[in-house]
């Protein structure tokens, strides 16, 4: 069955044949409140963006610190395919810092709106115009690529924005970008605005859309339809305030809904998203489009039934396209089909009567307002089916060391299917060290990986009881598991072991029954 989203529209008129991406996760994205990246982390992200196929990376702002200069230099040494830019204000010292960082070019930014001129720059239009000309010329004289941006362009006098761009182009600017700094465009206005700028100048125009009204992606797409040739975006939509337009959302919209061919390795999106999330410390909301944990998780019975018959019924495109595995989640809204498929993946085959009983108990738990994890569902099924519990994975010993001047370290002894596994590992904190040690030990015997980790305090105060939920992955199966304890390390370990026991149980039972 084909996926036709054209709804009768002739897409060939939409002028979306070539689109370039400028990823600004490392500059605008790092401006997300609470995010901070060291040079090594930035290098890892830049390499991944390059692997994705991103054409231009804004790697940071050289003038901001020596660390930023070091970062851009590190990235430049990798000789990536992507063009590497440093952010620069229209000041010679910013350009000098960019030169010191060895960046190939500058994202040169000058404010154009009345409020920015009056309150931020305290300069007249003539002075700002001259700054744009002088710094563009200076950057070009020093061999830099110049993408000239007008900050707050959408709240500026359009004639003044055009004047700045015209003068910048005369001074040698390679590309121009009228920024929607506080996200006030709507798709119709974005179309007209970018059409107006694109048809006035004959160099490539970019779109830089923020998400203050939740329209960053829609406005970016409309800008491309209006004639823009490049879009600025960030992984996970990170950025100042409500963030920038999300790269993965724009790319998948263009590919899936507008049939645009893009040289982007979309299969890397999920891993890239989680890499950025881990390194910035900013988690991804579960219902985030394209790469959120729930983006391809089906819960309601009617949906799981449909998806099991054909994934087309409730999915806009196959999750593998963005590196995700489909998940059928189990809760009070699940139908018997979803529960049956889930249990069969774990080698449990209840009879029709048993399945009805499992289903009835799951609904009763859900009606009491409880969220049920996959491990709890599995336990209910074992009880209904009269199966004895098996615990192939047992924690024999765990030692964790953490403190002011020591690297958090954990050592662990685990028996798995009667084999003793011993390992040690370090981590960012004691929980990380303990989980790393368990992962290393278990990796000696099986291929289970931690896919997601979340924590909440059930009670308040310093003696709070902590609930940890993990998602573990084994092949195509992803399973949620819970641990509850007064100690966060033990709650995490319990969640891991509970999940591992269920993932291993089927194989152990099969082994026993074949003896
Ligand atoms: O949103 C914006 O206007 C910016 C500029 C500084 C380029 O990020
Ligand atoms: Zn911005």
Residue 421 CA, chain-centre distance (Å), reads 34
At residue 298, the pLDDT reads 81
**Percentage of the residues of the chain whose pLDDT score is greater than 90:** 66
Q: Ligand 2 centre from 116 Cα, in Å?
A: 14
Which atom of ligand 1 is nearest the CA belonging to 27? 8
Nearest listed ligand to the Cα of residue 206: 1
Average pLDDT, integer, range 96-111:
98
Q: Ligand 2 centre from 87 Cα, in Å?
A: 11
Q: Whose CA is nearest to atom 8 of ligand 1?
A: 28
Q: Whose CA is nearest to atom 1 of ligand 1?
A: 181
At residue 1, the pLDDT reads 43
At residue 18, the pLDDT reads 80
Q: Ligand 2 centre from 263 Cα, in Å?
A: 24
Residue 473 CA, chain-centre distance (Å), reads 18
Cα–Cα dist 138/263, whole Å: 33
Cα–Cα dist 354/385, whole Å: 6
C-beta pairs of 456-461 under 8 Å, 24+ apart in sequence = 458/484
- Within 13 A of 147's CA, how many CA atoms are on the CB side? 28
At residue 463, the pLDDT reads 67
Nearest CA among 257, 147, 246 for reference residue 204: 147
Q: Whose CA is nearest to atom 2 of ligand 1?
A: 181
Q: Is the pLDDT of residue 498 over 60?
A: yes
Nearest listed ligand to the Cα of residue 244: 2
Nearest listed ligand to the Cα of residue 107: 1
Domains belonging to the chain, first-starting first, are: 19-245 (3.20.20.70), 297-385 (no CATH), 393-513 (3.30.160.270)
Q: Ligand 1 centre from 106 Cα, in Å?
A: 13
Q: Ligand 2 centre from 371 Cα, in Å?
A: 39
Average pLDDT, integer, range 40-57:
97
Which of 175, 182, 208 for mutating ligand 1's site (highest number of atoms within 8 Å of CB)? 208
Cα–Cα dist 414/421, whole Å: 5
Which atom of ligand 1 is nearest the CA belonging to 107? 7
Q: Is the pLDDT of residue 207 over 70?
A: yes
For residue 352, give every residue at least 6 positions away whose Cβ sits within 8 Å of its Cβ, in sequence order, or none.
none
Confidence of residue 305 (pLDDT cuts 50, 70, 90): confident
Cα–Cα dist 314/261, whole Å: 24
**C-alpha triplet 364, 366, 368: angle, nearest 5°:** 75
Which of 22, 23, 26, 28 for mutating ligand 1's site (highest number of atoms within 8 Å of CB)? 28
Cα–Cα dist 237/235, whole Å: 5
Nearest listed ligand to the Cα of residue 154: 1
Cα–Cα dist 353/350, whole Å: 8
Average pLDDT, integer, range 498-508:
87
Q: Ligand 2 centre from 435 Cα, in Å?
A: 37
Show the ligand 1 pocket: residues with CB < 6 angstroms.
28, 109, 149, 151, 179, 181, 208, 210
Alpha helices (H) in 58-157, listed in sequence order: 66-77, 92-100, 114-115, 125-141
Which of 179, 209, 216 for mutating ligand 1's site (highest number of atoms within 8 Å of CB)? 179
Partners of 137 in the β-ladder: none
In the chain, % helix, strand, coil (3-state, to 5) comes to 45, 20, 35
What tens digit of pLDDT does each residue of 467-496 get? Answer: 899 989 888 888 889 999 988 999 999 999
> Phi/psi zone of residue 153: left (φ > 0), alpha (ψ -120 to 50 degrees), beta?
alpha
pTM: 0.84
Three-class SS state of 37 = coil
**C-alpha triplet 403, 406, 407: angle, nearest 5°:** 110
Partners of 397 in the β-ladder: 413
What tens digit of pLDDT does each residue of 242-297 get? Answer: 999 999 999 999 999 998 999 999 999 999 999 999 899 898 998 999 999 888 88
């Amino acid at each position: 069955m084909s996926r036709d989203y054209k709804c009768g529209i002739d897409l060939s008129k939409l002028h979306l044949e070539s689109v370039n991406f400028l990823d600004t996760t490392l500059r605008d994205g790092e401006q997300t409140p609470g995010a901070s990246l060291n040079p090594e982390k930035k290098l890892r992200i830049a390499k991944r963006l390059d692997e994705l196929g991103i054409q231009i990376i804004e790697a940071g702002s050289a003038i901001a610190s020596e660390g930023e200069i070091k970062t851009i230099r590190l990235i430049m040494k990798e000789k990536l395919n992507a063009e590497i830019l440093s952010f620069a204000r229209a000041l010679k010292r910013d350009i000098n810092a960019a030169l010191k960082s060895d960046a190939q070019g500058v994202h040169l930014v000058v404010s154009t709106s009345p409020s920015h001129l009056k309150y931020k720059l305290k300069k007249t239009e003539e002075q700002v115009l001259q700054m744009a000309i002088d710094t563009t010329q200076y950057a070009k004289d020093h061999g830099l690529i110049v993408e000239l941006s007008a900050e707050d362009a959408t709240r500026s006098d359009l004639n003044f924005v055009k004047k700045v761009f015209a003068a910048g182009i005369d001074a040698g600017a390679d590309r121009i970008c009228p920024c929607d700094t506080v996200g006030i465009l709507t798709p119709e206005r974005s179309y007209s605005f970018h059409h107006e700028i694109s048809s006035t100048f004959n160099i490539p125009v970019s779109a830089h859309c923020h998400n203050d009204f939740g329209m960053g992606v829609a406005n970016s797409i409309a800008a491309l339809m209006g004639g823009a040739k490049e879009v600025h975006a960030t992984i996970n939509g990170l950025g100042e305030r409500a963030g920038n337009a999300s790269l993965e959302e724009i790319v998948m919209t263009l590919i899936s809904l507008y049939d645009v061919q893009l040289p982007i390795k979309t299969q890397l999106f999920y891993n890239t998203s989680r890499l950025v999330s881990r390194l910035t410390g900013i988690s991804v909301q579960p219902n985030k489009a394209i790469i959120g944990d729930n983006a391809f998780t089906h819960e309601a019975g009617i949906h799981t039934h449909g998806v099991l018959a054909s994934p087309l019924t409730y999915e806009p495109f196959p999750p593998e396209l963005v590196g995700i595995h489909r998940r059928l989640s189990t809760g009070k809204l699940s139908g018997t089909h979803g529960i049956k498929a889930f249990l069969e993946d774990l080698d449990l085959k209840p009879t029709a009567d048993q399945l009805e009983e499992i289903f009835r108990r799951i609904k009763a738990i859900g009606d009491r307002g409880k969220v049920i994890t996959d491990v709890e569902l599995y336990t209910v099924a074992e009880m209904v089916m009269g199966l004895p519990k098996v615990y192939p994975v047992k924690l024999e010993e765990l030692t964790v060391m953490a403190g002011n001047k020591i690297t958090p370290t954990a050592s662990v002894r685990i028996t798995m299917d009667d084999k003793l596994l011993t390992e040690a590992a370090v981590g960012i904190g004691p929980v990380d060290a303990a989980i790393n040690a368990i992962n290393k030990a278990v990796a000696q015997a099986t291929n289970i990986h931690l896919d997601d980790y979340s924590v909440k305090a059930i009670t308040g105060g310093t003696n709070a009881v902590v609930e940890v939920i993990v998602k573990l992955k084994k092949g195509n199966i992803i399973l949620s598991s819970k641990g509850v304890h007064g100690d966060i390390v033990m709650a995490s370990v319990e969640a891991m072991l509970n999940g591992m026991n269920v993932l291993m149980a089927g194989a152990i039972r099969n082994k026993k029954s074949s003896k």
